[in-house]
A and B are shown apart, each in its own frame.
Chain A
């Protein structure tokens, strides 16, 4: 039986890049810098606009957006920074219509997980996108499994996706020791 992840991966590979350029929706980011700042309430504060998929927001288009982001180095108008120090990662969440909210990296010096403990996320997000910077393994770690949402990982070696209940990641491009290319 083909897992839903496999189906999604296959559709992504066949998706033409022109899809990305055909439409534009507003993407709101909590912040747009690596050392982003948020209020104590964690309210998204710095909206930015970026080209993404159509407002229909199909999962195939989201796959393309994430793969393209790994190649351009930008996601939702925010630079992807693989040079963050341990244990920082960058995190985005996706709402219907492929609206991408950047949550930032972490806000303290000791804890990681992109400051999620300070972010009050509006309910209803459907996907999570995060980075594995150069300090990390390119592959998923134990903390990347068991999430109730599809979880994307962007590393210098590639992009993977874990579906809820999956036992192995789907590599959308690259490999544990590869690259997504330009």
Chain B
């Protein structure tokens, strides 16, 4: 009887955790599809640009937008050491921009979009990209 109860409780707990992860991912994908200022939590990958993934699974599978959004910092050129965030859970605040609306470099041979004062490759292939204003590490829940 006690074993059955424990089994049920364990199942419920796993279900809750799973639902929470799905909810977090859904929240992320909804947010990155919007416009303007945004706060996001996700998993960080450094790819020249800064990529933020909705959850660990998306990170591991390198899923594209909207499970991933490409970002650069508003002071990208001064950001020399971003490796401390690599593979970590992070929280960022920033502003979303439509990738297609971004300006190109002046007379490029290969078109490169500019966000802030940086090139943004947009490896996440998102319709939106993120200009990051602030970032911090988040402790695993």
Is the Cβ of B109 less than 8 Å from the Cβ of A143?
Answer: no
Residue of B nearest to A91 (CB): B109
B107 touches A (CB below 8 Å): yes
- Number of A-B pairs whose CB atoms are under 8 Å? 76
- Since A111-B117, A119-B109, A135-B48 are in contact, a sample of 5 more A-B pairs with Cβ atoms closer than 8 Å, ordered by chain A residue number, is A110-B76, A113-B108, A121-B109, A137-B123, A147-B110
The answer to the question of A5 belonging to the interface, with a C-beta cut-off of 8 Å to chain B, is no
> In whole Å, how far is B110's beta carbon from the nearest beta carbon of chain A?
6
Given A87-B48, A142-B121, A142-B122, decide whether A116 and B113 contact each other with a Cβ distance below 8 A: no
CA distance A173 to B110 in the complex (A): 22
Q: Separation in Å of the B100 CB from the closest CB of chain A?
A: 9
Most buried by B among A130, A135, A146: A135
Task: Contact check, A87 vs B109: say whether CB atoms are below 8 A apart.
Answer: no
How many Å from the CB of A139 to the closest CB on chain B? 8
Q: Is the CB of A87 within 8 A of B121?
A: yes
Q: Report whether A143 and B112 are in contact in the complex, using a CB–CB cutoff of 8 Å.
A: yes
Q: Does B97 contact A (CB under 8 A)?
A: no
Contact B112 A113 (CB under 8 A): yes
* In the assembled complex, B77 has its CB within 8 A of some CB on chain A: yes
**Cα(A109)–Cα(B77), bound, Å:** 7
- Closest 6 A/B residue pairs (Cβ): A86-B48, A87-B119, A135-B48, A117-B106, A112-B119, A116-B109
Q: Which residues of A contact B135 (CB under 8 A)?
A: none
Instruction: Decide if A93 touches B109 in the complex (CB within 8 Å).
Output: yes
What are 18 A-B contacts defined by CB distance under 8 Å?
Answer: A86-B48, A93-B109, A103-B109, A109-B77, A111-B118, A113-B105, A113-B109, A114-B110, A117-B105, A117-B106, A117-B108, A128-B109, A130-B110, A137-B47, A141-B121, A142-B122, A147-B110, A151-B110
Interface size class on chain B is 20 to 34
CA A142 to CA B125, docked complex, whole Å: 6
Contact B118 A136, beta carbon cutoff 8 Å: no
Q: Is A144 an interface residue (CB 8 A)?
A: yes
B59 to chain A, nearest CB (A): 15
Of chain B, the residue at the smallest CB distance from A109 is B77
A174, chain B: closest CB distance, angstroms = 18
A12 vs chain B, min Cβ distance (A)? 22
Chain A residue numbers with a CB within 8 Å of B111 are 143, 146-147
Residues of A within 8 Å of B108, CB to CB, are 113, 116-117
Q: How far is the CA of A76 from the CA of B48 in the complex (A)?
A: 26
- B107 A117 Cβ-Cβ under 8 A: yes
The closest CB in chain B to the CB of A146 belongs to B111
B110 and A91 contact, CB distance less than 8 A: yes
- The answer to whether A87 touches B110, judged by C-beta atoms less than 8 angstroms apart, is no
A161, B46: Cα distance in complex, Å: 25
Docked-complex contact A141 and B109, CB < 8 angstroms: no
Q: Which residues of A contact B110 (CB under 8 A)?
A: 89, 91, 113-114, 116, 128, 130, 143-144, 147, 151
Q: Does B33 contact A (CB under 8 A)?
A: no
Known: A109-B77, A141-B123. A116 touches B107 (CB 8 A): yes
